[in-house]
Amino acid sequence: MPGPVVREIEAKSILNASKIYDYCVNPYTGCQVGCAYCYAALFMRRYSGHSEPWGDFVDAKVNAPALLARQIVKARRGKIWFSSVCDSYQPLEERYGLTRRSLEVLAGRDFPVVIQTKSVRIRRDIDVIRRIPEVEVGFSVASDDESIIRAFERTSSPVAERIEALREFRAAGVATYAFAGPLLPGNPERLAALLDGAVDRVLIDRMNYVPAVRALYARQGLLAALTDAFFRDQADRLAKALRARGIAVEKVF
Ligand code: SF4
């Protein structure tokens, strides 16, 4: 697969208001992970003026760390989320290090940080992350079934590696969570067993952007997995199995 079209740009703002947490930081516009179910794909292509398909373009905000350093000194304390409309640890982070250098700005500062990713590239930054006083590392894990995951996500890490990375962060004293969303077909009891000992809590969400992925579900013969009954059943089974193992659960739908 050819690489994405990459542009280097200067952002005007990097510490932006978020509806989910107080702030979000997106060091990149565009996301090579290219998930078929991505809600950001619905609006980010138009917003960024790109004609390439979602997953095939990335703008690297090369001034992100310097801009964050300027904005943070004027900001009111609040929780910062990496990232709302990209994966901060998509492959290009190896080249640009914008996430790492942005996190370095936050090390030792009194701003809680949440980092959610699908890539074990985050391991590289465990030293910086541990220097952030209040920090949580989360991995999206939408199914235990690697073949299902591969049908929906382009460049994410294998599920087993994500869970291994969660264990490493937790063993290093960093709070961890899994985002089981958007729930994909799989075995919820097996997923709960895999997450046991790796996370402090699990958030469960459903697929909310059905029109964009309906055709993909149809091609995979998975249309039954788009019904309300499927999400109810899958989420209930997962929540029950997690609670039985003493893991805190939050359904966000
Ligand atoms: S990792 Fe997140 S932002 Fe990136 S394509 Fe997947 S869902 Fe979208």
**97: which residues sit within 8 A by CB, 6+ positions away?**
none
pLDDT score recorded for residue 120: 98
| Three-state DSSP class for residue 83 | coil
| Number of domains making up the chain | 1
87 lines ligand 1 (CB under 6 A): yes
122 lines ligand 1 (CB under 6 A): no
Q: What is the mean predicted confidence (pLDDT) over 99-120?
A: 98
Q: pLDDT of 53-89, one tens digit each?
A: 999 999 999 999 999 999 999 999 999 999 999 999 9
Q: What is the mean predicted confidence (pLDDT) over 202-214?
A: 85
DSSP state of 185: S
181 lines ligand 1 (CB under 6 A): no
207 lines ligand 1 (CB under 6 A): no
pTM passes above 0.75: yes
Q: pLDDT of 169-193, one tens digit each?
A: 999 999 999 999 999 999 999 999 9
- Asked whether residue 1 carries a pLDDT value surpassing 80, the answer given is no
Protein residue with its CA nearest to atom 6 in ligand 1: 35
Instruction: From the CA of 153, give the closest atom in ligand 1.
Output: 6
Protein residue with its CA nearest to atom 7 in ligand 1: 38
Per-residue buried b or exposed e for 73-107, using 16+ beta carbons within 10 Å of the residue's own CB: eeeeeebbbbbbbbbbbbbbbeebbbbbbbbbbbe
Q: What is the dihedral of CA 57, 91, 79, 69, to 10 degrees?
A: -80
Binned at pLDDT 50, 70 and 90, residue 45 comes out as: confident
- Asked whether residue 233 carries a pLDDT value surpassing 90, the answer given is yes
Domain CATH for 211: 3.80.30.30
Q: pLDDT of 10-42, one tens digit each?
A: 999 999 999 999 999 999 999 999 999 998 988
| Three-state DSSP class for residue 128 | helix
- Asked whether residue 238 carries a pLDDT value surpassing 70, the answer given is yes
40 lines ligand 1 (CB under 6 A): yes
pLDDT score recorded for residue 121: 98
Q: pLDDT of 217-231, one tens digit each?
A: 988 899 999 999 999
Higher pLDDT, 84 or 44: 84
30 lines ligand 1 (CB under 6 A): no
Instruction: From the CA of 34, give the closest atom in ligand 1.
Output: 5
Full residue range of the structural domain in which residue 140 is found:
5-251
Å from CA of 180 to ligand 1 middle = 14
Protein residue with its CA nearest to atom 8 in ligand 1: 38
Binned at pLDDT 50, 70 and 90, residue 211 comes out as: confident
Provide the 10 A C-beta neighbour count for residue 211.
Answer: 7
